[in-house]
Chain A
Amino acid sequence: MTLAAAIGLTLGNLDLDLELDVDGTAVVAVVGPNGAGKTTLLRALAGLLRIDRGRVAINGTVVEDPAARLRLPPEGRDVGVVFQEHRLFSHLSALENVAFGLRASGTPKAEARAKAMEWLEQVGLPDVARLRATQLSGGQAQRVALARALATEPAVLLLDEPLAAVDAAARAELRHLLRSELRRCPGARLIVTHDPIEAAALADRLVVLEDGQITQEGPLVEVTARPRSQWVASMVGLNLLCGVAENFRVRLPNGAVITVADECKGETFAAIRPNAVSLQRHRPDGSPRNVWPGEAGDLHVAGDRARIRVDGPVPLIAEVTPAAVAELRLAEGGCIWAAVKATDIETYPC
């Protein structure tokens, strides 16, 4: 089960231009900020949106190729979609909703209903079979929508922010169900989300989409450990700096220099965990070679941790204890010194 797509399409201000391959071995999450083109990409793959350039192939069969004037409609592609807002048919029962895809492909009524019932049991909702879609809770509706998409056993399963419209109480349970169903599903599985927690919980591979382009892709752990864009870095809570390296030094565009532990050369990223940044009111003496002055900025206290922005030649987010916030009077702002050990800085080429 494979999905291979090269997509070029312009929609309003968005220019989508990317290549994407999904096989049956890994659950892929497309993550990115709002407006990056995630939903547009999913709609294009499903055939709900026409592409301008490129081609889309499912299991090696081309389903769209504008240059060859080829375009199969959604019903001609072996795709299943779980939409953000369940999109159940409100005039049908939960069971009839799940049976819809089977009925559409000509499965006899009784057989389709029996299979639909099995799918409802699979998502843990055999009791709601007779209820109308409008009588279901948000979480139930999204489960039925998942069962409906799975029931056709599509070669490609696309999920568009499947948890976004579900209330917090039902979200954890639904996430758990999604995780196990995504593992079971044999097709190529692609989930679109702006929520890094959701992506981390559900996917094996991440594709980062920003402004219509893929800025990074790879296994989950690699992307989160070595972000290649500010958006990913802020999502996973890392400081990301980019400069030109020479020996054990990375020079930022503004001239500031970071001393690192690994020898590197050329354009280099330096990632620093916020809890590796230590703050002091006076210039520290002693071992740390990376010491920069800055202005104490926005402060966020959450539980037993506090995050503060330090605006200086090397802009950083530092994570400190609430005790340190009080001791250093960080809420007052003013000049502050930030220190980072060279061994706490992860470097990798741009």
Chain B
Amino acid sequence: MRRWYVLLVLPFLGLLYPPLYATEDPQLFGFPFFYWYQFLWVPLTAGLTYFVYRKTRPPEQPARRPTQPTGRFSRT
């Protein structure tokens, strides 16, 4: 299940090497490549994160146990 986390590396690869996208062409709707390429990563990253979230979610609903803090609040 945890192997899905590897997908989250993609946005880092796509964005942390600016020579990959620091150009003006090809343009899209008047936007230089540098801008629309980075904007494109916003929905892509959100989608990837959501996908990983679904895949790594435990098969059953999370246990609905109330937490029992053992910290300071417990001694009223």
A binds B: no
Residues of B within 8 A of A (CB): none
A-to-B contact residues, CB < 8 Å: none
